[in-house]
Chain A
């Protein structure tokens, strides 16, 4: 039996195990949507294509599966770009299908034509323009394989309308054959052996864990390694949920807004072990001051991450699951050396404890005005054990990283690399679609929230009980903080002068809106929101000029933190 291109697409998605897609219809994908009408695949209609991509991203980050998006040509396709770039920077597996004008019209400036393959080339792991229906099944197969293997990432398939309509006999390939794509899986055993020796010999070791650890699901191995050798663990923003926040070996986040003790540990360590982390500038601060007393080991699946920013002493390229398992196996055979290691590192752990005691994470509490950090602490305290947290970008994002106690892997969704405001609400939507029965909270600022607030409609339409906590300071707070500290308090265009009635906004969409400016009401309002079985927007009117500290000013080493505002 012959199938049309759009039927082949949907059948291929089904064969790839896709149950849910996020998208938005339009002229160049109308055939796909017609076939979706009869398909077992569930489609979530967002209110903006960017939100569809973030939702698929949230779905992917929480489940580990490939998120799938459908958007139309031209503006539909260009609206996906920020979402795709967000996913690319954070290595999130995703397949984006865009409609395209008929092949005969490509290049003619046809209605709703955009060269989306050209536009997304630098922000996708790979992309395909389907020029012949016979290539379609292979391209879909390859797209999913590329998206989920190696260092994951988004892959775009641009599907012209005439190819959606054309038909042929359908066979889905069982294997992929790509001469140019063979990700390294197992690490070099000898290198791993050297890493084990370096770890055992170290007197002041630190594990520096990044988003790759979350993506590779190595939280059990990580915990085992840390506990076996009693090595302190600092995590990047992308890995906050990869290691239990309250563990005695947890140092919290490092970098620009990292903890005093994490940044001091990295500065003073003699061995830094980077695990799925890429030495982002927000992590390293001034590069020649970063871990300059340390030898550096880097475990990463992407060879291009090695020596990119920091020259490392021992690189190990491979899948973290395989590499860490092998490392643990090698260490298991050396109990005497481990005992010796534990002995020689006692002083280091004591020194770190002194740093922890000297400058613990904290903030100046208030009885008269709601401190944003207090709201985060309360959300952390009152939420379920397996709560999924998303954020937007800015001060609230950093406070969440600093004050929320993450307990389980894949529970913290935030745009770490690209820093995309407007990410959190649609990502929460996608996470709630993936896990209808878990608590999902978007922690937001008033600025970011307004970048994708239209998705309240999607939450209500699909009865997705996402909770939204807006820390409203009527400022673009992070930029305001910089202006205060480095631009002589010239608050250029950072004051959101029109106060929004967020309660009415929520109600206009059919969601519940709650608001308070009283410290004593915070807890009760959160509890009330959690009891409502539907989407709830909580607005907390917080102290307006609170700053995120510690803070490493631009151009400084991470040990040169500002510790008080």
Chain B
């Protein structure tokens, strides 16, 4: 089962390697990982998407907590949360397809952030499933390149990770 975990860590030398090394060393799976500092520059927040049964997830959470650099671990799976991912999609846009690309962009409330005579670069934010959907629709036009950030999540309402 898919789990999305937020990890607050000390923003210090080697911390990303500690977390990623923990996953590879213990055979845990990482589907995506995104990380950036929080409002407190001494703290970073990671969002990790992983898969596993309850036993594995319990180990992942406990092993993450065991790292000295880890301040807090929250598994959002059973919580209400907002999940967003950013994708930049460079899609072929020649005379016959330019209008169709724009229509799709419009429907998904994405936006075009770079234009050339032969391509559009589309910026799209949304739940990962939404991004999958837009990619499916744009594929026939000819996607030249895609970059996805991996999702970040935040709890709804008062639910949070704040330290």
The 8 Å CB contact of B62, one of A121, A127, A304, A311, is A304
The 8 Å CB contact of A180, one of B14, B21, B59, B70, is B70
B20 → chain A closest CB, angstroms: 10
- At the interface, yes or no: B87 with Cβ under 8 Å from chain A? no
B-side residues, CB < 8 A to A, are 9-10, 13-14, 17-18, 21-22, 25, 55, 58-59, 62-63, 65-71, 163
- Inside 8 A of A311's CB, which chain B residues have their CB? 55
State the 10 A-B residue pairs at the shortest beta-carbon distance, nearest first.
A304-B62, A126-B68, A180-B71, A179-B71, A122-B25, A181-B68, A180-B70, A303-B62, A304-B66, A121-B21
Docked CA distance A121–B68 (Å): 12
B59 → chain A closest CB, angstroms: 6
The 8 Å CB contact of B63, one of A121, A146, A304, is A304
Docked CA distance A13–B138 (Å): 63
Interchain residue pairs with CB less than 8 A apart (9): A118-B17, A122-B25, A125-B68, A129-B14, A131-B13, A178-B68, A180-B9, A180-B71, A303-B66
Docked CA distance A131–B22 (Å): 23
The 8 Å CB contact of A146, one of B18, B68, B163, is B68
A302-B66 CB under 8 A given contacts A121-B14, A121-B21, A179-B10: yes
Question: Which among B58, B59, B66, B163 has the greatest number of chain A C-beta atoms within 10 A?
Answer: B66
A180-B25 CB under 8 A given contacts A118-B17, A121-B14, A307-B55: no
- Inside 8 A of A129's CB, which chain B residues have their CB? 13-14
- Inside 8 A of B9's CB, which chain A residues have their CB? 180
A117-B65 CB under 8 A given contacts A304-B59, A307-B58, A308-B59: no
Verify B67–A122 contact, CB threshold 8 A: no
Q: How many residues of A contact B (CB 8 A)?
A: 21
Q: Which of A90-125 contact B (CB under 8 A)?
A: 117-118, 121-122, 125
- Inside 8 A of B58's CB, which chain A residues have their CB? 307
Docked CA distance A146–B66 (Å): 11
Docked CA distance A127–B59 (Å): 22
User: Nearest residue in A to B64 (C-beta to C-beta)?
Assistant: A304
- Inside 8 A of B13's CB, which chain A residues have their CB? 117, 129, 131
Verify B66–A121 contact, CB threshold 8 A: no
Q: B interface, by DSSP: helix, strand, loop or mixed?
A: helix
B102 → chain A closest CB, angstroms: 47
Verify A180–B17 contact, CB threshold 8 A: no
Docked CA distance A122–B66 (Å): 12
- Inside 8 A of A179's CB, which chain B residues have their CB? 10, 71, 163
A122-B21 CB under 8 A given contacts A303-B62, A304-B63, A308-B59: yes
- Inside 8 A of B69's CB, which chain A residues have their CB? 126, 180
Docked CA distance A187–B70 (Å): 22
User: Nearest residue in B to A117 (C-beta to C-beta)?
Assistant: B14
- Inside 8 A of B63's CB, which chain A residues have their CB? 304
B35 → chain A closest CB, angstroms: 16
- Inside 8 A of B22's CB, which chain A residues have their CB? 122
- Inside 8 A of A303's CB, which chain B residues have their CB? 62, 65-66
User: Nearest residue in A to B163 (C-beta to C-beta)?
Assistant: A179
A316 → chain B closest CB, angstroms: 15
Docked CA distance A311–B53 (Å): 14
B38 → chain A closest CB, angstroms: 13
A474 → chain B closest CB, angstroms: 38
- Inside 8 A of B10's CB, which chain A residues have their CB? 179-180
Known: A118-B14, A178-B68, A179-B163. 8 other contacts (CB 8 A): A122-B22, A129-B13, A131-B13, A180-B10, A180-B67, A180-B71, A307-B59, A311-B55
- Inside 8 A of B21's CB, which chain A residues have their CB? 121-122
Q: Which of A165-201 contact B (CB under 8 A)?
A: 178-181
User: Nearest residue in B to A308 (C-beta to C-beta)?
Assistant: B59
- Inside 8 A of A180's CB, which chain B residues have their CB? 9-10, 67-71
- Inside 8 A of B65's CB, which chain A residues have their CB? 303-304
Q: Which of A289-316 contact B (CB under 8 A)?
A: 302-304, 306-308, 311
B44 → chain A closest CB, angstroms: 12
Question: Which among A178, A180, A181, A311 has the greatest number of chain B C-beta atoms within 10 A?
Answer: A180
The 8 Å CB contact of A121, one of B17, B70, B163, is B17
Question: Which among B55, B68, B163 has the greatest number of chain A C-beta atoms within 10 A?
Answer: B68
Docked CA distance A367–B73 (Å): 64
Docked CA distance A311–B10 (Å): 32
Interface 1/0 per residue, A222-248 and B, CB below 8 Å? 000000000000000000000000000
Q: Which of A117-162 contact B (CB under 8 A)?
A: 117-118, 121-122, 125-127, 129, 131, 146
